């Protein structure tokens, strides 16, 4: 098992390097001139724009700029905001736990809803319950999470004043208010994920329940609950873990718009307001790098879990 994990970590290094090149290069293609923005906008004098570009090294060759940025990033230095002057790494350290709590809550919601529904549907294929769950999961996948978020705001905040619609309270200050402010973001992000998970678990359960070892377990007199819990569920959840891991990675990026809707001070609002809105290159590069790295690390964890559930994978 240790060798399997070591191989996956080694394979992650060149992938991280490739991701860093893509992030640095694509951000430069987004357009906008931070030097002109700093100098005062469209009416800024050209000599001042030129001075700022030279100070920031914006006219240096691509490889020189990338090498300088990568060397600093490898030491945990993602630079400073071009406009506020605040350290990007420090900002990310404060904001990442907020985004992580939003994503983690959505995962919990998805697992609590999606896995039981998938098991129920998968053990009753073709039934009314199965068709109902399948229809509901298809609807959940089709509806965008930002639409669900806005619908929740209207129903639970505007019309009924049950939950706060915007803002964030730190967990250390008040765990109850922390949960109240994050419940709607959790539900909005967890809805589509739970639908995807339910579909995956349902399909896996249908396949597994028709296997020979399941029929043998039933013939030996085991109860249906024991057959499902001990023999069928472990194998059925293996592909679901892969899907969940991929979705968890997407959640880190999906929180961007949800945080903006609910005014949550995480990576999303930092990227949209302080980064893209002002063409602040260090902010954009720092946030995207953290999200991409988180995605890769989640997939590493999924590979390890997959290896635990399926020993055959460890040989690859």
DSSP string for 249-277: HHHHHHHHHHHHHTT-TTHHHIIIIIIGG
- pLDDT of the residue at 184: 92
- pLDDT of the residue at 178: 92
Q: Is residue 241 predicted with pLDDT exceeding 60?
A: yes
Query: Residue 42 has which token pair?
Result: 């469209």
- Residue 96 backbone phi and psi in degrees, to 5: -60, -45
Which helix (H) or strand (E) element contains residue 33? Answer: none
Q: Out of 27-41, 54-68, 184-198, pick the least confident.
A: 27-41
| Topology of the domain comprising 92-315 | MetI-like fold (1.10.3720)
Query: Average pLDDT in the 235-258 region?
Result: 75
Full DSSP string of 115-132: HHHHHHHHTSTTSHHHHH
Q: Are 35 and 49 in contact (CB under 8 A)?
A: yes
Cα(124)–Cα(134) distance, integer angstroms: 12
pLDDT, tens digit, 9 for 90 and up, residues 139-177? 888 888 888 888 999 998 888 888 888 888 888 888 899
Q: pTM (2 decimals)?
A: 0.76
How far is Cα of residue 141 from the mean position of the Cα atoms in its chain? Answer: 16
Q: Are 148 and 262 in contact (CB under 8 A)?
A: no
Burial class of residue 129, CB neighbours in 10 A (0-12, 13-18, 19+): middle
Q: Are 248 and 103 in contact (CB under 8 A)?
A: yes
- Residue 80 backbone phi and psi in degrees, to 5: -120, 150
Nearest-Å Rg of the Cα atoms of the chain is 24
Q: Out of 35-49, 219-233, 301-315, pick the least confident.
A: 301-315
Sign of CA dihedral 250, 256, 259, 261: negative
Q: Out of 10-19, 27-36, 193-202, 263-272, pick the least confident.
A: 27-36
Residues in the chain, overall count: 316
Q: Are 120 and 129 in contact (CB under 8 A)?
A: yes
Enumerate the domain spans of the chain: 2-74, 92-315
């Amino acid at each position: 098992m240790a060798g399997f994990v070591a191989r996956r970590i080694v394979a992650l290094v060149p992938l991280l390097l490739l991701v860093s090149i893509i992030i640095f290069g694509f951000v430069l293609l987004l357009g906008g001139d931070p030097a002109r923005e700093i100098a005062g906008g469209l009416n800024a004098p050209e000599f001042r724009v030129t001075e700022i570009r030279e100070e920031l090294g914006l006219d240096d060759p691509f490889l020189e700029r990338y090498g300088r940025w990568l060397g600093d990033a490898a030491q945990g230095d993602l630079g400073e905001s071009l406009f506020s002057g605040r350290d990007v790494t420090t900002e990310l350290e404060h904001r990442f736990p907020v985004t992580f709590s939003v994503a983690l809550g959505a995962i919990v919601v998805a697992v609590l809803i999606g896995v039981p529904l998938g098991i129920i549907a998968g053990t009753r294929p073709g039934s009314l319950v199965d068709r109902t769950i399948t229809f509901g999961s298809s609807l959940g996948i089709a509806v965008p999470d930002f639409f669900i978020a806005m619908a929740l705001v209207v129903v639970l905040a505007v019309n009924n004043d049950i939950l706060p619609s915007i803002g964030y309270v730190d967990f250390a200050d008040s765990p109850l208010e922390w949960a109240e402010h994050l419940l709607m973001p959790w539900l909005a992000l967890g809805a589509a994920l739970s639908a995807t998970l339910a579909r995956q678990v349902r399909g896996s359960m249908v396949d597994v329940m028709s296997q020979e070892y399941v029929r043998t377990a039933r013939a030996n007199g085991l109860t249906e609950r024991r057959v499902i819990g001990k023999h069928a569920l472990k194998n059925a959840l293996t592909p679901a873990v892969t899907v969940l891991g991929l979705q968890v990675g997407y959640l880190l990026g999906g929180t961007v718009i949800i945080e903006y809707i609910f005014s949550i001070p995480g990576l999303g609002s930092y990227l949209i307001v302080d980064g893209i809105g002002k063409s602040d290159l260090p902010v954009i590069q720092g946030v995207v790098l953290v999200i991409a790295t988180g995605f890769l690390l989640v997939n590493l964890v999924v590979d390890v879990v997959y290896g635990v559930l399926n020993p055959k994978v460890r040989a690859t």
